[in-house]
Amino acid sequence: MRRFLTLSGRIAVSLALLYVALRGINFAAIQSRLTRISLGWMGFALLIAVLQCFLSSLRWREISAQCAAPLTDPQAFRYNMIGAFFNQTLPSSIGGDAVRLWLVNRTGAGWRAATYSVLTDRAIGHIALALVIVVSLPWSYGLIADDKGRLALLAVDAVALAGGLGFLLVGHLDWIWLKRWWPTRHVQACSVIANRVLFGRKSGPKIAVTSLSVHVLSVVIAWCVVRAIAASADFEELFMLTPPILLITMVPISIAGWGLREATMMIAFGYAGLSQTEGTVVSILFGAVYFALGATGGLVWIFSSEKTAQTIELAPVEDS
């Protein structure tokens, strides 16, 4: 019953946010844009999404090795593609992480190592995204003239950056209660791993390059979608707008970010002086690219050896 209520709530949130995003939008203009989509640009966007998934798997493989859950490059890429599929089918934008955790555990690594690898990978991805927003903040302020828009951008980035830096700081604290309390003990363990891979002489540059490249490719995907419908936004504007939108979309309150992404992109385009209708169409097609990526991941899942398991049951992190 609890899972049903959670799913129902997230479906309701997605529908409500889609209503907000589409309310007052000129549907004739949207239909006109959609009938003139360049399939070539959309296909190129999908290829970029696959490349993004591959680069993300290289980062995850590096992190997993530090968690005593070693993965090969093909294995990490396959698990990431399967995770992309479940991101689109499970009731949140992070459902794929739960499936990746299960897949790593099936390799014999154990629940603790699997959990640490996935959570640390997710945390480092968030930190990298926050840094991208910080670096682009001076130009974002120039693009967004509205004071409310600037304040919202600053607040979102401040929260994300504070959370990321706080997470890394926990790994350096030697407070006894951090090690005694079950949740904080595991958070601190993930923080220690994150510090090790981020500031390691060999792993640090790899993690930095792959993490930043993943987020830049998200901007490239958005730009491909803009080109597909001949919208007015240019690459520089998308570089300022897309990372904050992605950061907000990661909040797991809707189904695969649907509704939340559309409402956020519509508002962001409006603050930047761009067409809100175009922002809504770009958001829908941006989501469609990742839906197609998830469908491809579904094929990987169907033909993978992991599919032989009849059920996916997640267990809590081992305690000791």
pLDDT tens-place string over residues 75-107: 999 999 999 998 887 655 567 888 999 999 988
**In this structure, what DSSP letter does residue 38 have?**
-
Give me the pLDDT at residue 9, please: 58
Higher pLDDT, 210 or 313: 210
Alpha carbons within 13 A on the beta-carbon side of 137: 16
Within-domain flag for 316: no
| Stated pTM of the model | 0.84
Mean pLDDT of the 168-180 span: 87
Distance, in Å, from the CA atom of 64 to the CA atom of 69, rounded to the nearest integer, reads 5
Q: Which residues, 6 or more positions from 86, have their beta carbon under 8 angstroms from its beta carbon?
A: 95, 96, 98, 99, 294, 297, 301
Within-domain flag for 176: yes
Within-domain flag for 58: yes
Number of structural domains found in the chain? 1
3-state secondary structure of 197: helix
Distance, in Å, from the CA atom of 273 to the CA atom of 142, rounded to the nearest integer, reads 12
Within-domain flag for 174: yes
Q: Which amino acid is at 84?
A: A
Within-domain flag for 317: no
3-state secondary structure of 90: coil
User: How does the average pLDDT of the chain come out, rounded?
Assistant: 84
Range of the domain at 198: 2-301
Distance, in Å, from the CA atom of 237 to the CA atom of 317, rounded to the nearest integer, reads 42
Within-domain flag for 85: yes
Within-domain flag for 292: yes
R_g of the chain, CA atoms, integer Å: 20
The structure tokens listed for 307 are 């599919």
Within-domain flag for 310: no
Helices 111-143 and 182-199 meet at what angle, rounded to 10?
Answer: 70
